[in-house]
Amino acid sequence: MAVFFNEEFYDHIQSPFHPESPERLKGIVQKLKHHGLWEDIIRSKTGSAEHLGLIHDEDYVEFIRTCGECNITMDTSVHRDTYAIAALSAECAIDAVTHSEKEEEPSFALTRPPGHHAGPNYGMGFCYFNNIAIAAAHLLDRGDKRIAIVDSDVHHGNGTEHVFAERSDVLYISIHQTGIFPGTGSADFLGKGDGEGFTINLPLASGCGDSTYDCAYSDIVLPIVQQFSPDAILVSLGVDGHYRDPLASMSLSSTGHVRGAMELVRLSEICAKRVTFFLEGGYDVPALSEVVAGVVGVLRGVDVPLEFADVLDDSCLGRNAIEQCRKNASEHWDL
């Protein structure tokens, strides 16, 4: 397991009290160091406009590069160094998937700023360039035939869905909380045109946690990804579904987060262990840090004790939503 990172990610600051703060990444790095997991970190170098252009419109990229100081939405602002750091974050994503392809082992891109809300010509929700979508497009550009994206951030990855909704070579599966930002991700939307059946949304009510996610993986995520038979699995890993998170109200524990990630690692045996995790949200720093360290720890054979392990949902609270999702998806997949 290789971890990709760059200290420059700390320099992206929106405002002093913004939840998407450098402290998130500093907490993760400190935790990884504490458990002896900060060796062999691979530092990504300068970002590339060419790679951003794989999914973003040229005008949009140029706008982020040249606008100086501006707000693109109420909660997402651009500063003079935003372009360089966000482009570096996208490059970190590409470096990680390239590593997994070459070495046939899992990788983790500590991308910051995050990316899954950014679309072809817009940024929002603390995202500017869509790191995971850029990495997927890069792999397809280099000859892969099918890429599976699993998005476990508590918010729907509207940008990623938008980029690939009409394509059959990228499977997008999102598990998210319904009724919160960005308001997209209905279970009825399964993609369009050639992409029909290749977008799977599982919106869950607040309160859902460990047992619901376990069912979601076993009943929806794992069988569909297996049938899709991807060349690589890319994961938008958010930790904002955690019961400690201040921005959402799901009840996943740290253990539940790590277990979900490990299901995808096990599944990656079908694609030569090419699985890459990309950091998306997660705004309670201690929970975020221990989940990331927990995932890296398991893959490096280091025991990271998880402090926030309370199981608040042990009866699959989201059963009805999972059943509805399974019913919709059954038109395209054997479930």
Which residue, 144 or 153, is less far from Zn ion as judged by CB? 153
Q: Does 161 bind Zn ion (CB under 5 A)?
A: no
Per CB under 5 A, the list member of 8, 151, 153, 169 interacting with Zn ion is 153
Q: Does 151 bind Zn ion (CB under 5 A)?
A: no
CA distance 25 to 12: 11
Cβ neighbours of residue 33 under 8 Å, at least 6 residues apart? none
Q: Which stretch binds Zn ion (CB under 5 A): 32-40, 153-161, 206-214, 259-267?
A: 153-161
The pairs formed by 162-165 with CB atoms below 8 angstroms and a separation of 24 or more are 162/119, 162/120, 163/55, 163/119, 163/120, 163/130, 163/133, 163/137, 164/133, 164/136, 164/195, 164/198, 164/199, 165/189, 165/191, 165/192, 165/195, 165/199
Which residue, 238 or 260, is less far from Zn ion as judged by CB? 238
CA distance 206 to 335: 25
Which residue, 56 or 155, is less far from Zn ion as judged by CB? 155
Q: Which stretch binds Zn ion (CB under 5 A): 12-20, 131-139, 184-192, 279-287?
A: 279-287
CB of 236 to Zn ion, least distance (A): 9
Kindly state the number of chain residues that form the binding site for Zn ion, as judged by CB under 5 A. 5
Structure tokens at 275: 């699985």
**Catalytic residue of the set 117, 155, 156, 257:** 117
Per CB under 5 A, the list member of 119, 281, 297, 318 interacting with Zn ion is 281
Which residue, 24 or 155, is less far from Zn ion as judged by CB? 155
Using CB under 5 A as the criterion, what x/- string covers residues 209-248 for binding Zn ion?
-----------------------------x-x--------
Going along the chain, which residue ranges are E strands? 2-5, 42-43, 70-73, 76-78, 107-109, 147-151, 170-177, 199-204, 232-237, 275-279
Let me know if 155 is a catalytic residue: no
CB of 70 to Zn ion, least distance (A): 23
The residue assigned the tokens 């949009």 is 60
Catalytic residues: 117
Residue ranges that bind Zn ion, judged by CB under 5 A: 153, 155, 238, 240, 281
